[in-house]
Amino acid sequence: MATPPFYDPLLSYEDNYAHGPFGSFASTAKTAPADAAPRERFLGIPVHSTFGIPAGPLLNSRFVAAAFAHGFDLCVYKTVRSKATPCHPFPNTLAIECSGDLSLGQTLVAHACEKDRAPRSITNSFGVPSQPPEVWQPDMVAALRSAQPGQVLIGSFQGSGEGVAQIADYARAARLVAETGVPVLEANLSCPNEGKKGLLCFDTEKISAIVDAIRKEVTDRPLLLKLAYFEDTAALQTFVRTLADKVDGFCAINTLSARVVDANGQQALPGAGRDISGICGATIRWAGLSMTQKLAALRAENNMNFAIVGNGGVLTPADDAAYRDAGADAVMSATGAMWNTQLAQQIKKERCHEVK
């Protein structure tokens, strides 16, 4: 049975940031059974499990501390920027009516979430809000301190602006994140909720320039790239062959974009550019698995060593297993974890981890 989600979709982003997390995450006291010594590795770092929560629902150090306490051993601090950026207007999360797999270009009907009933899929429309660095940097340090041995905090960031200014800002944001001491960085290249026609991750030439700029600022820790779903396998092949030697891994996928309407066929999310939003949950699992399989095949064909972090529609231990069978080195869950805070422990038991 679903429990109240740790991010309350019936409250604004600002209220969640100020008063959350909720549900069983409201207490950061350690609730997960004590793990034995770390048995796995993520990017060479010893970890209890290569399972966690991606960028998105862990808004600040309180959310991160609660996730670690519940046994999510890889936690991504919500994407930050080099300057303060507001969130899209409320609502930001709605339940989606879609019983099967989401088709590309499909229109979906949305309605308010029910806190005690886990939706199969949701829409996620925040617009990558961020506190200013003087707020999020010390908070990220606090989040890092909540990690126990065998747990890893990942710092996600995104650049702002256009052209060369955006490239420079990605590098600036990377440096600011690195200053907090987080051991792994993640460049978010795939947010579909900013009213732009094309996602940044599809521009291989620009991403190469961004990564080069980041590497000039930060040279001493792993860098991951967060990707969207590539329908064009040839384009993904070009992307991977261009970037694989410059980064340490790829996280896929973020969300799938779809038009979201209410029961009357009107735009469900208020504001310009929000007729299209990102979809999360079970309905996009096929796309996440497909990207994992494509990345794993490219890695093998080209004798490469990058890590693959699979994400999209992970609601059960069986979903985690499917991603690992597809070639993922680590797996993360946002929607599933929000309504099932015991998911990490369930997966550890399924994977025969010794949990005492």
Average pLDDT in the 92-103 region? 92
Query: Which of the two residues, 198 and 58, has the higher pLDDT score?
Result: 58
Query: Please, which pLDDT band fits residue 194 given cuts at 50, 70 and 90?
Result: very low
Q: What is the CATH number of the domain that holds 140?
A: 3.20.20.70
pLDDT of residue 198: 66
3-state secondary structure 195-259: CCCCCHHHCHHHHHHHHHHHHHHCCCCCEEEEECCCCCHHHHHHHHHHHCCCCCEEEECCCEEEE
Total count of domains within the chain: 1
Closest CA to 259 of 91, 89, 117, 125: 125
pLDDT of residue 36: 81
Task: Establish if 99 belongs to a structural domain.
Answer: no
Query: Please, which pLDDT band fits residue 199 given cuts at 50, 70 and 90?
Result: confident
Angle at Cα 306 formed by Cα 39 and Cα 254, nearest 5°?
Answer: 90
DSSP state of 148: P
Task: Establish if 316 belongs to a structural domain.
Answer: yes
Contact status, residue 225 vs residue 213, Cβ threshold 8 Å: no
For residue 232, give every residue at least 6 positions away whose Cβ sits within 8 Å of its Cβ, in sequence order, or none: none
Contact status, residue 327 vs residue 299, Cβ threshold 8 Å: yes
Rg (CA), the chain: 19
Q: What percent of the chain has pLDDT over 70?
A: 94
At 336-351, the pLDDT tens digits run: 999 999 999 999 998 8
For residue 216, give every residue at least 6 positions away whose Cβ sits within 8 Å of its Cβ, in sequence order, or none: 171
At 152-170, the pLDDT tens digits run: 999 999 999 999 999 999 9
Task: Establish if 226 belongs to a structural domain.
Answer: yes
Query: Please, which pLDDT band fits residue 183 given cuts at 50, 70 and 90?
Result: very high
For the whole prediction, is pTM greater than 0.85?
Answer: yes
In angstroms, the CA 138 to CA 152 distance is 17
Task: Establish if 212 belongs to a structural domain.
Answer: yes
Contact status, residue 159 vs residue 173, Cβ threshold 8 Å: yes
At 26-71, the pLDDT tens digits run: 986 667 767 788 999 999 999 999 999 999 999 999 999 999 999 9
Rounded to a whole number, what is the distance in angstroms from the first to the last CA of the chain?
24
Amino acid at 65: A
Query: Which of the two residues, 30 and 327, has the higher pLDDT score?
Result: 327
Query: Please, which pLDDT band fits residue 356 given cuts at 50, 70 and 90?
Result: very low
Rounded alpha-carbon distances, angstroms, from residue 339 to 115, 123, 297, 313: 8, 15, 33, 13
At 101-132, the pLDDT tens digits run: 999 889 999 999 987 889 999 999 999 999 99
Task: Establish if 221 belongs to a structural domain.
Answer: yes
Task: Establish if 264 belongs to a structural domain.
Answer: no
Task: Establish if 101 belongs to a structural domain.
Answer: no
Half-sphere exposure of 292 (CA within 13 A, CB side): 28
Average pLDDT in the 264-285 region? 94
Helix axes 133-145, 163-178, angle to 10 degrees: 40
Range of the domain at 306: 13-91+128-257+282-351
In angstroms, the CA 42 to CA 49 distance is 9
Task: Establish if 103 belongs to a structural domain.
Answer: no
Q: What percent of the chain has pLDDT over 90?
A: 87
Query: Please, which pLDDT band fits residue 195 given cuts at 50, 70 and 90?
Result: very low
pLDDT of residue 354: 43
